[in-house]
Amino acid sequence: MPDSPNRSRKVAVITGSSRGLGAATAKRLARDGFFVVVNYAKSRKDGEAVLREVEQAGGKGALVQGDVSNLGGIRSFFDEVDAALKGQGLPASFDVLVANAGVLVSKTFAETTEADFDSLFDTNVKGVFFLIQNALPRLRDNGRIVTLSSGLSRFANPMFTAYSATKGAIDVMTRILAQELGVRGITVNAIAPGAIDTDMNAGWIHSEEGRAMLMSRQALKQVGVPQDIADAIAFLAGPDSRWITGQRIEASGGSSL
């Protein structure tokens, strides 16, 4: 007996998708036909709003709470993902993992504390490492993994030394995982955004000084929005990127060329 349309539907899991880049990605992948697992760490209200938009646009998804900055939280998260998928009549497996959850600390090297450093590396590196490790038994062959790097792993900004180091680690991890997982047909690529108009950047990007600085460094003279990154992630999550793996693809509007 052939699979029902529901059971054969492709599934994408997007961490940190209750706001910002993750929310835009969840909505875009839902439009592309994926069943999307929307993840929030603290604000269920924000996650519910994203899922509501997905469903109002004709898409389908599920909402799963999970703190993916530590191993216990990651294991619990995937238990909840399994249950949510089964509750929708879907297998406890998926086709795309977008490791989007991350934190940002903007401080000079001298001002960065041990707590800042640990918070950044726990979520942005350790969290991504063990998220992918725990996802692999559930990720189908010929699937896709998309990690989130940053333009700051290429160009230098002294306000983001520790954060930039976490994204440099993601670049290396992405390349090595692509080599390791190629035997299963799984592609692994990193998207590296530049400055994007999200809550995380609103404090400076909306100021006259901040916008002027951005425009002076960026080839494309407009401020990037979450949809710009979501569209790039959708390409890497889809069939047209089948021959691309192990790459860091920068989506920064040509920043600091």
Q: Which of 36, 139, 163, 164 is catalytic?
A: 163
Is 40 an annotated catalytic residue?
no
Paired residues of 218 in beta bridges: 255
Tell me the C-alpha distance between 246 and 175, whole Å. 4
Tell me the C-alpha distance between 193 and 167, whole Å. 11
Residue 119 CA: distances (Å) to CA of 102, 112, 125? 10, 11, 10
69-76: long-range pairs with CB below 8 Å, 24+: 69/101, 69/103, 69/122, 69/123, 69/126, 69/127, 70/122, 70/126, 70/127, 71/130, 74/127, 74/130, 74/131, 74/134, 75/134
| Angle in degrees, CA 159, 162, 165, rounded to 5 | 115
Tell me the C-alpha distance between 111 and 45, whole Å. 34
End-to-end CA distance of the chain: 55
Tell me the C-alpha distance between 144 and 237, whole Å. 6
Q: How many CB atoms lie within 10 A of CB 23?
A: 26
User: Which residues are known to be catalytic?
Assistant: 163
